[in-house]
Amino acid sequence: MDSRHSCVGLQLVHYYRLSFSGHCQQWNQRHSFHSYACYRIPTSVQLIWAVILAIGMFFLPESPRYLVMKGHLGRAHQAQAKLNRSTIDNENFDTDIEEIIANMELTSKYSSGTYADCFKMGPQKNLFRTLVGIFLQAWQQLTGINFIMYYGTSFLHSSGIQQPFLITIVIYLINVCMTIPGMLLMDKLGRRKILITGAAGMLACQYIIAIIGILMDQSNEVFQKTLVAFVCIFIAFFASTWGPAAWVVTGELYPLAIRAKCMSLSTASNWLWNFALGYATPYMVDPDKGNMGSNVFFLWGSMCIGCLLFAIFCIWETKGLSLEQIDDLVSNSSPISSAKANDALKASQINHDRSHTVKYQSITTGNDNSLR
Q: Tens digit of pLDDT for each residue in 107-152?
A: 666 556 889 999 998 888 999 999 999 999 999 999 999 999 888 8
Domains plus CATH for the chain?
115-332 (1.20.1250.20)
Q: Is the pLDDT confidence value at 371 over 50?
A: no
For residue 119, the 8-state DSSP code is G
CA atoms within 13 A on the CB side of 98: 8
How many Å apart are CA 189 and CA 195, to the nearest integer? 10
Assessment of whether the complete model's pTM goes beyond 0.85: no
Q: Where are the alpha helices (DSSP H) in 32-92?
A: 37-57, 64-69, 73-84
Nearest to 60 by CA among 45, 82, 85, 35: 82
| CB distance 250 to 263 below 8 Å | yes
Instruction: Round to whole Å and give the CA distance between 86 and 205.
Output: 45
Greater pLDDT, 358 or 279: 279
Helix-, strand-, coil-residue percentages of the chain, each rounded to 5: 80, 0, 20
pLDDT band at 370 (very low <50, low <70, confident <90, very high): very low
- Greatest Cα pair distance in the chain: 89
Angle CA(11)–CA(1)–CA(84) in degrees, nearest 5? 105
For 306-318, write each residue's pLDDT tens digit.
999 999 999 999 9
Task: Determine if residue 163 is left, alpha or beta; phi over 0 gives left, psi from -120 to 50 gives alpha, anything else beta.
Answer: left
Average pLDDT over residues 35-60: 77
d(CA 341, CA 359): 27
Q: Which amino acid is at 168?
A: T
Q: Are 368 and 362 in contact (CB under 8 A)?
A: yes
- The rounded Cα 329 to chain-centroid distance in angstroms is 20
What is the residue-averaged pLDDT of the chain? Answer: 82
Mean pLDDT lowest for which of 34-48, 74-88, 141-155? Answer: 34-48
